[in-house]
Amino acid sequence: MALFDDEPLKKARPHEIGQDLSLLSVTELTDRIALLREEIARLENELLSKGATRTAAEKLFRPS
């Protein structure tokens, strides 16, 4: 909690790669797994999008 009302609140990090997991409950671990799976899906979608853009650019600029 901020000491004064005008201080910005620090956003809690839901997961940090390599952090100690021994103190987390089964529910917390399950929630983090779900969060990470959603992030992996988001990353894979972005990767596919960039791949499609690259393929289109290569077709456009490829000499005939």
Predicted confidence at residue 53, as pLDDT, reads 82
* Domain positions in the chain: 23-64
Among 39, 14, 37, residue whose Cα is nearest residue 24: 14
C-alpha distances in angstroms, 62 versus 17, 29, 50, 56, 59? Answer: 41, 48, 18, 10, 5
Tens-place pLDDT, residues 12-64: 567 888 999 999 999 999 999 999 999 999 999 999 999 888 787 777 787 76
Q: Is the pTM of this model over 0.85?
A: no
Phi-psi region of 48 (alpha: psi -120 to 50; beta: other; left: phi over 0): alpha
Write the DSSP string, 22-60. Answer: TT--HHHHHHHHHHHHHHHHHHHHHHHHHHHHHHHHHHH
